[in-house]
Amino acid sequence: MFTGIIQATGKIASITPSGDDVKLQIEVGGLDMSDVKTGDSIAVNGVCLTAIKFDVTSFEAHVSKETLSCTVGLDSPKIINLEKALQLSERLGGHLVSGHVDGVGQVVRFESVGDCWLLMVRAPHNISRYIAVKGSIAIDGVSLTVNAIEKDVFSMNLIPHTLEKTSLQYLGVGSRVNLEVDLIARYVERMTQWGKESETT
């Protein structure tokens, strides 16, 4: 589990094909690797990956064909958001993020509004029902609060600190981003569905 509070930005340094999968070498920038062990989870642009080799400056991760098919940003050298898995002793500054991407959205508007930036994203229709005003969503692993939603398009205001510390500063109209909806929304839907199923049995 993660929080959506990005700890560092890094870079995908190399991509090596491995059958239908790929192996990534990821430079970690300022991410502290002193407590990382082989097999630990690290979120890369919101995607939970396993560190199979590492040193103080980088780690290697194996990415399956399935993961590549339902995410973006793992198949080309680029700046990426990094977060180590949550420890139970840590503060939960963002919201609970699993690192399992629900869908890929597309930026439809990104512009400055005073000191902040307005970000508007079109979500896949099948997950837009999980997005609510004042609810949480992870965009490329960054925990954000939804300000408004109309049909499949939702918007947020990004403060300067968020842009400075994450890869969201490089977004533009047309950019594709990884989306993970709030876990609570999925559980509420399942409980409601289970209740209806129970009534018919």
> pLDDT by residue (tens digit) across 71-108?
999 988 999 999 999 887 777 788 889 999 999 999 99
Helix residue ranges, H only, the chain: 65-69, 125-128, 160-165, 183-199
- pLDDT in the model for residue 187: 80
pLDDT one-digit tens code per residue, 36-64: 999 999 999 999 999 999 999 999 999 99
Domain covering 103-189: architecture: Beta Barrel (2.40)
Class of the CATH domain delimited by 8-84: mainly beta
Distance CA 70, CA 87 (A): 27
Tokens of residue 60, six digits? 């290697």
Distance CA 96, CA 84 (A): 13
One fold for both 8-84 and 103-189? Answer: yes
pLDDT one-digit tens code per residue, 112-121: 999 999 999 9
Q: What is the mean pLDDT of residues 10-37?
A: 96
Lowest mean pLDDT: which of 13-17, 23-27, 72-76, 89-93? 89-93
Show me where the domains of the chain are located: 8-84, 103-189
Q: Is the pLDDT of residue 35 over 70?
A: yes
